[in-house]
Amino acid sequence: MIAFDEPTGTWVLSTPASSYALRRGEDGPRHVYWGPRLPPERIARLPVRARARDEIIGDELPGEGGERFGLAALRLAFADGTRAVDWVHSGHEIDGGHLVIRLSDRHHPVRLELHYRVHEDTDVLERWAVLRHTGTDEPVAVERFDAAAWTLPPRPDYRRSHVTGEWSAEFQLHRAPVAHGETTIVTRQGTARHQSNPWLMVDTGEATEEHGEVWSVALAWSGTWRITTRRTPGDDLVITAGAGHDGTVRRLDPGTEIRTPPCLGLYSRGGFGETSRRWHSFVRQHILPRPDEPRPVLYNSWEGTWFDVNEATVRELATAAASLGVELFVLDDGWFAGRTTDAAGLGDWWPDPDRFPHGLGPLIAEVHRLGMRFGLWVEPEMVNPDSDLYRAHPDWVLHMPHRPRTEIRNQLVLNFARPDVVTWAHTWLDRLLRDNAVDFLKWDMNRPFTEAGWPAGPDPQRLWFAHTEGVYTILDRLRADHPRLRMETCASGGGRVDLGILRRTDQAWTSDNTDPVDRIAIQHGFSQLYPALIMGSWASQSPNPLNNRPTPLRFRMHVAMAGVLGISGDLRTWSTVDIAEAATLIAQYKQIRPIVQHGHLYRLTPTDHDVTAVQYVTDDRAESVVLIWRRFSRPSRATRPLRLAGLDPAATYTTPDGSHHGGDVLLHHGIDPDLPPGDHASTLVRLRRSGS
């Protein structure tokens, strides 16, 4: 709901449990309030905190000019050398939950629209901005154009939470005080990548998993991005977030406009746990294309075969996977022309004639006959120099004249800002899907941008944005034209997981690290914003191919069952005992899948405890699943009861063995984890409300 109080010029945006307010000002709207829901008429009477001691603060999208010494979320350079903006309010519109505020520069021909959207079923509010050149003469240089700046109330002990990491160690949760001055998390690599992820949470220094105020912002964008916190000496805090990084200056030509991707914001009083659950609900309700569909149990060939695939091997693996109860068989890298190592083949997207002499058709038919769907790995944005495509089109890659073309994993990046490259990629993908009954694509992206140039391009820096838009265009068209198609986002593991790509994919590959011990922390960080419904997790080989750690199959499976369960590894070498156990656990996963994938997540412990656990509870609190993992066993430490969450205290819950537990006892005292002795022990507890 959006209300406008005419006498004070205050817009109040109300969500079920929060309010956000801003007020019309002489030179653009100023922030008034973001916190627990209050009656709009009371918020309208609140004063604007428009100045800190020595400067103007609280702009909804600060530019340069006047006593503004903070970071400009909108940084323009006009042809006459002017950098300051001078806005005048030129109107607003409210259409249901959508507010647009229009500003015009008093002298230069630019107009700015600030957009806000609220929904009735979520506290997440959406913001974006549009900048238009209304003149006919010189272009304007757009040096920074964030989607939103978020002003928080002054508090003495602000703390920030975000994820950092690297390949195979993505989503490591990091929590530290907000420094005075400016702190930026940024990627300059072309996609979100592994080093960070485009979201940030801020609390008052005392929030826990269960309690405390948390403000969080997230970008729905898959290209490079920046999120900056600015804490003034007086402890005012502004978070500004948007697409692009330093140096990605775009030209705004007369008659054209630039629209930012959305930046989403959420205020919650229930600590980090409730913050995550609200984001999870939002992702399900407003981001994912098909949120209600259960995600299938998949098998992926990568850790079973690496590049060594051929029709006979794949048939054997498919037979074994089907016997486990797998529902989706994914043929990973190595199926296309010349792809026997990572040194060749990318760009030549037809089945390798030596290894798949009959094409993919008979194989797909066999996978379908076995009762599974068929998925295929692709990496459309990439080319190996050793490929027919590159030999024909060396100018299609990102490059700069007189500079080396840096190869990473022996590959170069195709310039998806070029319409001809986008048409080429869409054409072969569309044909692949028309000619073959492919049900699922895993879209990978295995290297960052380097020498990101487009010598003949109209506006070279624009490629940083247009490349991502090109990817989105193809994904959107494929989904529209092939309604049965489901997709997985992947970039060397979890290098492209964000709310922008998730609008057009169904799940994400979380990390190339399938070691269950490492995976617990990766999944913990992933779950801060993203729901289990999209978190691809494989139980793979032991010892793990990456770090050589041996772990029992049950532990590997129980960790993977916390998300979208998958299997990888060479099933031909698995013992009959392991095959039988995997089949039993897959069958069990299918029973608990609705609770895990569509329930509410409670992280019961920090990840540095010896015993860690997550719990999922259905909306009506009738069913719950607890996954408990002990990474390392220490003889001196007795196992403590594990307090559960989210249950109905007045109800009685029953476990499959028939024992009864009061909801209040489970919440306040807990359950005995009852883990077998030793390292890498795990268990799954299922609870059903008696009478449900």
- Candidates 113, 332, 570, 623; binder of ligand DGJ (CB under 6 A) is 332
Residues 243/465, Cβ–Cβ less than 8 Å: yes
The single-letter DSSP state of residue 484 is T
- Candidates 27, 512, 515, 518; binder of ligand DGJ (CB under 6 A) is 512
Q: What's the closest the beta carbon of residue 436 comes to ligand DGJ, in angstroms? A: 19
Q: What's the closest the beta carbon of residue 445 comes to ligand DGJ, in angstroms? A: 9
State the amino acid at position 267 in one-letter form: Y
Which region, judged by CB under 6 A, interacts with ligand DGJ, from 425-433, 453-461, 488-496, 635-643?
488-496
- Candidates 48, 131, 490, 522; binder of ligand DGJ (CB under 6 A) is 490
Nearest CA-CA partner of 465 in 286, 252, 265, 287: 252
Decide if residue 375 touches ligand DGJ (CB under 6 A).
no
- Is the four-CA dihedral 649, 655, 658, 659 of positive or negative sign? negative
Residue 393, CA distances (Å) to 389, 397, 430 in order? 6, 8, 21
In the bound state with ligand DGJ, the residue whose beta carbon lies nearer, of 302 and 416, is 302
Q: What's the closest the beta carbon of residue 148 comes to ligand DGJ, in angstroms? A: 32
Alpha carbons 363 and 291: distance in angstroms, whole number: 30
Decide if residue 299 touches ligand DGJ (CB under 6 A).
no
Which region, judged by CB under 6 A, interacts with ligand DGJ, from 96-104, 465-473, 486-494, 578-586?
486-494
- Candidates 302, 336, 390, 629; binder of ligand DGJ (CB under 6 A) is 302
Residues 381/445, Cβ–Cβ less than 8 Å: yes
In the bound state with ligand DGJ, the residue whose beta carbon lies nearer, of 242 and 493, is 493
Decide if residue 170 touches ligand DGJ (CB under 6 A).
no
Q: What's the closest the beta carbon of residue 509 comes to ligand DGJ, in angstroms? A: 5
Alpha carbons 586 and 297: distance in angstroms, whole number: 8
Q: What's the closest the beta carbon of residue 129 comes to ligand DGJ, in angstroms? A: 34
Q: What's the closest the beta carbon of residue 513 comes to ligand DGJ, in angstroms? A: 10
619 in catalytic set: no
DSSP string, 373-413: EEEEEE-TTEE-SBSHHHHH-GGGB---TTS----BTTBEE
Decide if residue 381 touches ligand DGJ (CB under 6 A).
no
Decide if residue 390 touches ligand DGJ (CB under 6 A).
no
- Candidates 333, 348, 439, 623; binder of ligand DGJ (CB under 6 A) is 333
Decide if residue 518 touches ligand DGJ (CB under 6 A).
no
Alpha carbons 42 and 121: distance in angstroms, whole number: 23
Decide if residue 352 touches ligand DGJ (CB under 6 A).
no
Alpha carbons 4 and 94: distance in angstroms, whole number: 9
Place of tokens 């590997």: 556
What strand order describes the sheet that includes 2-5? 2-5, 10-14, 18-23, 30-36
- Candidates 377, 396, 443, 653; binder of ligand DGJ (CB under 6 A) is 377
The residues that bridge with 177 in the sheet, in sequence order, are 159
Identified catalytic residue from 59, 444, 506, 648 = 444
The answer to whether the bond into 139 is cis (omega within 30° of 0) is no
Residue 640, CA distances (Å) to 540, 568, 608, 614 in order? 30, 34, 15, 15
Q: What's the closest the beta carbon of residue 189 comes to ligand DGJ, in angstroms? A: 15
Tokens of residue 664, six digits: 């209040």
In the bound state with ligand DGJ, the residue whose beta carbon lies nearer, of 310 and 654, is 310
Place of tokens 């529902």: 327
- Buried b / exposed e along 12-35 (16+ C-beta atoms within 10 A): bbbbeebbbbbbbbebbbbbbbbb
Size of the site for ligand DGJ (CB under 6 A): 11
Residues 272/538, Cβ–Cβ less than 8 Å: no
Decide if residue 493 touches ligand DGJ (CB under 6 A).
yes
- Candidates 19, 268, 492, 507; binder of ligand DGJ (CB under 6 A) is 492
Decide if residue 515 touches ligand DGJ (CB under 6 A).
no
- The residues in 443-472 that bind ligand DGJ, with binding defined as CB under 6 A, are 444, 446
In the bound state with ligand DGJ, the residue whose beta carbon lies nearer, of 129 and 567, is 567
Alpha carbons 383 and 284: distance in angstroms, whole number: 34
Residue of minimal CB distance from ligand DGJ? 333
Decide if residue 488 touches ligand DGJ (CB under 6 A).
no
Q: What's the closest the beta carbon of residue 367 comes to ligand DGJ, in angstroms? A: 18
137 in catalytic set: no
Per CB under 6 A, residues contacting ligand DGJ are: 302, 332-333, 377, 444, 446, 490, 492-493, 509, 512
Residues involved in catalysis: 444, 512
